[in-house]
């Protein structure tokens, strides 16, 4: 059985309180992982072209206020 399948089985056995705690932990863990990936992409210049295009579009009046 794969690790994911093992985890699925274990998660299904959690009490409602344990499931709430898992959700809270995973939300924090997942956000931290995403933040680290984003930082690596920024530092590597991977997002530079998109940022430049967004700034050009904004300066050309092709953006709207949120």
Per-residue model confidence (pLDDT) at position 18: 98
- Per-position DSSP letters for 22-66, written without gaps between them: HHHHHHHHHHHHHHHHHHHHHHHTTTHHHHHHHHHHHHTT-----
CA 55 – CA 61 distance, rounded (Å): 10
Q: What is the mean pLDDT of each run of 10 residues along the chain (66 residues)?
A: 94 98 98 97 96 96 92
Model pTM score: 0.66
**Model pLDDT, residue 15:** 98
Helix (H) or strand (E) holding 8: helix 3-12
């Amino acid at each position: 059985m794969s690790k994911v399948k093992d985890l699925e089985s274990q998660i299904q056995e959690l009490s409602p309180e344990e499931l709430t705690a898992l959700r809270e932990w995973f939300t924090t863990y997942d956000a931290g992982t995403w933040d680290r990936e984003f930082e690596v992409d920024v530092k590597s210049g991977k997002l530079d072209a998109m940022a430049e295009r967004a700034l050009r579009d904004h300066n050309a009046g092709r953006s709207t206020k949120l």
